[in-house]
């Protein structure tokens, strides 16, 4: 596997400092969310020019860093049609930007039926799932036109909350330009952590061919919810996850999440060592 990191979990610096810093820590790829990693100006549709994409691309080439995920985590199920139009336009802009930047995928979660982007039981209704399918179709169409991949990330609190729902979306949209980011912790909540092995196994059974990237973090139970922490320091069965990766996903890009500048290298080394011993 190829290990990377979220750029906004690294000590901040302008991109010409940040990207070399990621490589110096031994990572070969990164998850880049422009809105979280660029602070010298406000990234938006107007700033996402071909020149900006080529600038980032050149920095990555010079430092031997790939962009595993170009992140754009907005709510495609937003109930306000005016806001939804802005969100959809921003997704299309990311597809155009990605056609020049050449990340592995453009990544997104799958939203909530409310403007606050929070859990409510209606998120898990079939109506919400079909709503998301209808909302993601134009984004996938843009991905097809620009020759890039959109990857959705199931999250328990959101509309696509497990492997079965992800499989449904993939089958309904039926596009080779739609794939999956698998973050096993994001599919968990206190009520199903005892079934985590089943969830990991089912994900690889139903989605193995469509998993494009893996996100790696861990969890502890805290105040009735799950708190995300660095990979290998909590309750996730990394032996099982890494076994699946080693068996069926050679050279896949796996990006660490919820690390800090102080523990990122140690986390990378721990996960790599565990993988090597499987």
Instruction: State pLDDT tens for residues 166-176.
Output: 999 999 999 99
Contact of 214 with 252, CB cutoff 8 Å: yes
How many other CB atoms are there within 10 angstroms of residue 2's CB atom?
16
SS3 of 27, please?
A: coil
Contact of 111 with 159, CB cutoff 8 Å: yes
**How far apart, in whole angstroms, are the C-alpha atoms of residue 231 and residue 238?**
8
Confidence of residue 276 (pLDDT cuts 50, 70, 90): very high
Contact of 160 with 129, CB cutoff 8 Å: yes
- CA distances to 47, 136, 159, 178, 228 from 147, in Å: 21, 16, 26, 11, 34
Query: What percentage of the chain carries pLDDT values higher than 70?
Result: 100
Half-sphere exposure of 76 (CA within 13 A, CB side): 29
Smallest CA-to-CA distance from 187 within 250, 272, 103, 124 is with 124
Instruction: State pLDDT tens for residues 24-36.
Output: 999 999 999 999 9
Mean pLDDT of the chain: 97
Instruction: State pLDDT tens for residues 208-223.
Output: 999 999 999 999 999 9
Confidence of residue 136 (pLDDT cuts 50, 70, 90): very high
**How far apart, in whole angstroms, are the C-alpha atoms of residue 30 and residue 254?**
9
210: Cβ contacts below 8 Å, ≥ 6 apart: 166, 170, 178, 179, 180
Instruction: State pLDDT tens for residues 120-130.
Output: 999 999 999 99
The parent domain of residue 81 ranges over 2-276
- Looking up residue 202, the CATH number of its domain turns out to be 3.20.20.150
Total structural domains within the chain = 1
Residue 75 is given by DSSP the state -
Please give the helix or strand (H or E) that residue 151 lies within, else none. Answer: strand 150-152
């Amino acid at each position: 596997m190829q290990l990377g990191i979220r750029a906004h979990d690294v000590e901040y610096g302008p991109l010409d400092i940040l990207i070399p810093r990621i490589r110096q820590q031994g990572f070969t790829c990164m998850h880049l969310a422009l809105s979280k990693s660029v602070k010298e100006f406000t990234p938006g549709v107007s700033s996402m020019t071909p020149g900006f994409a080529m600038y980032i691309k050149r920095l990555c080439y010079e430092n031997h860093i790939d962009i595993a995920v170009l992140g754009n985590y907005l709510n495609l199920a937003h109930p306000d049609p005016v806001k939804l139009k802005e969100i959809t336009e921003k997704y299309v802009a990311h597809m155009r930007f990605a056609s020049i930047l050449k990340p592995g995928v453009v990544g997104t979660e799958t939203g909530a039926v409310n403007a606050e982007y929070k859990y409510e039981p209606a998120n898990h209704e079939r109506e919400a799932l079909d709503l998301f399918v209808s909302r993601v179709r134009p984004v996938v169409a843009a991905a097809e036109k620009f020759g890039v991949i959109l990857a959705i990330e199931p999250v328990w609190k959101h509309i696509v909350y497990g492997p079965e729902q992800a499989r449904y979306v993939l089958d309904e949209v039926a596009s080779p330009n739609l794939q999956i980011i698998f973050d096993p912790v994001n599919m968990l909540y206190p009520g199903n952590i005892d079934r985590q092995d089943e969830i990991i196994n089912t994900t690889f059974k139903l989605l193995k061919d469509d998993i494009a990237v893996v996100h790696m973090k861990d969890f502890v139970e805290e105040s009735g919810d799950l708190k995300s922490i660095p990979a290998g320091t909590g309750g996730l069965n990394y032996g099982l996850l890494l076994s699946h990766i080693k068996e069926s996903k050679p050279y896949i890009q796996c990006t660490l999440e919820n690390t800090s500048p102080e523990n990122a290298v140690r986390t990378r080394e721990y996960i790599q060592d565990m993988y090597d011993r499987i």
